[in-house]
C-alpha cells in the first residue's frame, strides 16, 4: 500500500514528518509513504508579522486543499500552527508523543553567559534587541523587561539564527522543540524559559496529523501511534484558545501539565497592543480537559477586561 503525506518544505517540517512516517512504518512496515512538499502562504510572505497577513490558516490552507482533493492522503503540521476550527471534511487525529513545549532564548554568539547570568541580563539590561514574530512572545518579553526592543523576525529556524547574527540582534525567541528536533541545542547558547516567564503557544511541541474525516483506515493507524497524555494536554490547550477566540491577532498562551488523574492548565491572554497581559492557573480531572480549557478562558477574558477598565 502506498500513501502520500503533505508537508511544508523546511528542514524542521520534513524532520517532523519523518517522525510520523517512522512511527507508522514501525507498526506497518509494508506501507510505503511518499512525501510531497507544499509551499504555503506563510512560507512565501516573510516580511510581515503573522497578524498582518492572516490567521493561523496561512500555514495549512494549501495543504488542506490537497488532502480534500485526494492529491495527498494526510499531512503533518506543527499543532501550534493549526486553526481551532478545521476545514469541513477534515479532522485532526489524536496527538503523538509531544516534544518539549517550552520557549527558548537563542543568544547571539558574541555572548558567553551561564543560565543565571542570562536571567539577570534579560531582566535588567537596557537597549537589548530580542527578535520574534509572535505577539505572545512580545507581550511576555516586555513583562520581563519593558526596556527590551523587539524587532520582527520570521522564516525557518536557521534563517532566523543567521539574521540574528547579521543584524546583530542580542537574541531570538524560538520553540525548544524545533531546536531540539534539529539537534542544535548543544551548538547554540540557549536559555530555557520557565512557564512563569513565558507560557508557550497552545499545542507547542506537538505534531498534528490531518486526514480526511471519512478515512477510517488512517484514523485507526494514527490512534495506534498516539500518546494519550499528550493528546489530553493539547485538548485542554486548544479548548482554551478556541473559547477565548485567540489567534495571531491577540497574545495567547496555554500549557498543560498532567499528574496522575489531575490536569493543571496555566494560560495567558493579552491585548492586541501587547501592553496588558494577564495569566491564571486552573486544575481539575484530566477527563474534564475541555471544560478546564473553557473555564480558564472565561476567567482570563474577564480578568483582562476588568484590568482595562
248 is catalytic: yes
**Cβ contacts of residue 177 below 8 Å, gap of 6+?**
99, 100, 101, 204, 205
pTM tops 0.85: yes
Please, what is the Cα angle at 302 between 297 and 307, to 5 degrees? 130
Confirm whether 2 is a catalytic residue: no
Question: Do the Cβ atoms of 278 and 139 come closer than 8 Å?
Answer: no
Q: Answer yes or no: are the C-beta atoms of 168 and 131 closer than 8 Å.
A: no
Residues in the chain: 309
Q: Could you give all domains of the chain from N- to C-terminal order, each with its CATH number? A: 1-96+206-226 (3.40.190.10), 103-192 (3.40.190.10), 227-309 (3.30.160.40)
What pLDDT is recorded for position 272?
87
Catalytic residue of the set 56, 137, 238, 286: 137
| Active-site choice (56, 94, 135, 136) | 136
| Phi, psi dihedral angles at 242 (to 5 degrees) | -70, -40
Please say if 238 is a catalytic residue. no
Query: Could you say which of 98, 231, 248, 274 is catalytic?
Result: 248
**Catalytic residue at 264?**
no
pLDDT at 51: 54
pLDDT value of position 53: 47
**160 in active site:** yes
- Compute φ and ψ for 284, nearest 5 degrees: -175, -170
pLDDT along the chain (309 residues), means of 10: 94 96 96 92 55 61 93 96 92 97 98 96 95 95 96 92 97 97 95 97 97 97 96 98 79 97 97 92 98 97 86
pLDDT of residue 250: 86
User: What is the model's pLDDT at position 57?
Assistant: 65
Amino acid at each position: 500500500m502506498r500513501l502520500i503525506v503533505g508537508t511544508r518544505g523546511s528542514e524542521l517540517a520534513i524532520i517532523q514528518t519523518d517522525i510520523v512516517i517512522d512511527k507508522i512504518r514501525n507498526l506497518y512496515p509494508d506501507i510505503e509513504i511518499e512525501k510531497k512538499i507544499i509551499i504555503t502562504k506563510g512560507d512565501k510572505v516573510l516580511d510581515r508579522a503573522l497578524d498582518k497577513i492572516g490567521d493561523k490558516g496561512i500555514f495549512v490552507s494549501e495543504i488542506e486543499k490537497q488532502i480534500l482533493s485526494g492529491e495527498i492522503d494526510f499531512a503533518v503540521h506543527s499543532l501550534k500552527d493549526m486553526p481551532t476550527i478545521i476545514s469541513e471534511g477534515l479532522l485532526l487525529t489524536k496527538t503523538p508523543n509531544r516534544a518539549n513545549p517550552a520557549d527558548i532564548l537563542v543568544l547571539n554568539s558574541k555572548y558567553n553567559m551561564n543560565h543565571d547570568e542570562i536571567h539577570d541580563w534579560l531582566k535588567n539590561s537596557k537597549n537589548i534587541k530580542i527578535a520574534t514574530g509572535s505577539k505572545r512572545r512580545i507581550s511576555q518579553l516586555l513583562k520581563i523587561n519593558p526596556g527590551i526592543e523587539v524587532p520582527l523576525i520570521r522564516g525557518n529556524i536557521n534563517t532566523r539564527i543567521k539574521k540574528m547574527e547579521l543584524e546583530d540582534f542580542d537574541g531570538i525567541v524560538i520553540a525548544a522543540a524545533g531546536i531540539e528536533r534539529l539537534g542544535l541545542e548543544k551548538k547554540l547558547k540557549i536559555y530555557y524559559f520557565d512557564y512563569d516567564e513565558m507560557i508557550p503557544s497552545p499545542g507547542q511541541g506537538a505534531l498534528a496529523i490531518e486526514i480526511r474525516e471519512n478515512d477510517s483506515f488512517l484514523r485507526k493507524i494514527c490512534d495506534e501511534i498516539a500518546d494519550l497524555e499528550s493528546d489530553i494536554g493539547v485538548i485542554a490547550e486548544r479548548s482554551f484558545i478556541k473559547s477565548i477566540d485567540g489567534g495571531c491577532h491577540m497574545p495567547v498562551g496555554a500549557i498543560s501539565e498532567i499528574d496522575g488523574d489531575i490536569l493543571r492548565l496555566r494560560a495567558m491572554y493579552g491585548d492586541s497592543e501587547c501592553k496588558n497581559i494577564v495569566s491564571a492557573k486552573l486544575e481539575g480531572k484530566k477527563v474534564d480537559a475541555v471544560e478546564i480549557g473553557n473555564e480558564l478562558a472565561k476567567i482570563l477574558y474577564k480578568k483582562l477586561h476588568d484590568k482595562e477598565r
